[in-house]
Amino acid sequence: MAQEVITKLIDDLDGSEASETVSFALDGESYEIDLSAKNAAALRKALDRYRSGARVSSGRSSATGRRSRGRGSRSRAEVDPKVVRAWAAEHGFEISSRGRIPSEVLEQYKANGSR
């Protein structure tokens, strides 16, 4: 049995036949919209003023537009967690042996213990 599958794009704004899917991002969110040639041109024209003043960003790590998250902040990466935990234990701080070191402990260590 033979089958023919036809995918028809419908303009998300006016219900006419769409000619393309346009992708864009704003405020950390990525969007896709199916538009006719006329509506796609109108969208691009509306964004031209802003696009001409903007810079191309490759900082987005995924299609969702969410910002990538590293393995902790710079301030946490500048210290050896084992050393901080040992210092904290010697100075009466109760912190877990695993996981994130509380920022208050890191601040105290940097101010008093990292000399």
**Structural domain spans, the chain:** 1-69, 74-113
Distances (CA, A) of 51 to 25, 27, 29, 46, 57: 12, 14, 17, 9, 11
Q: What is the CATH number of domain 1-69?
A: 3.30.60.230
Segment 50-65 mean pLDDT: 69
Tokens of 77: 């990466």
Task: Give the type of residue at 96.
Answer: S
Which range, of 11-15, 31-35, 58-62, 101-105, averages the lowest pLDDT? 58-62
End-to-end CA distance of the chain: 78
Q: What is the pTM assigned to this prediction? A: 0.48
The average pLDDT across 95-109 equals: 85
The mean per-residue pLDDT over the stretch 37-42 comes to 96
Are 1-69 and 74-113 the same fold in CATH? Answer: no
Instruction: Decide yes or no: CATH 3.40.50 for domain 74-113.
Output: no
The percent of residues in the chain predicted with pLDDT above 90, rounded, is: 35
Tell me what the mean pLDDT of segment 90-106 comes to. 86
CA gap 104, 96 in Å, rounded: 14
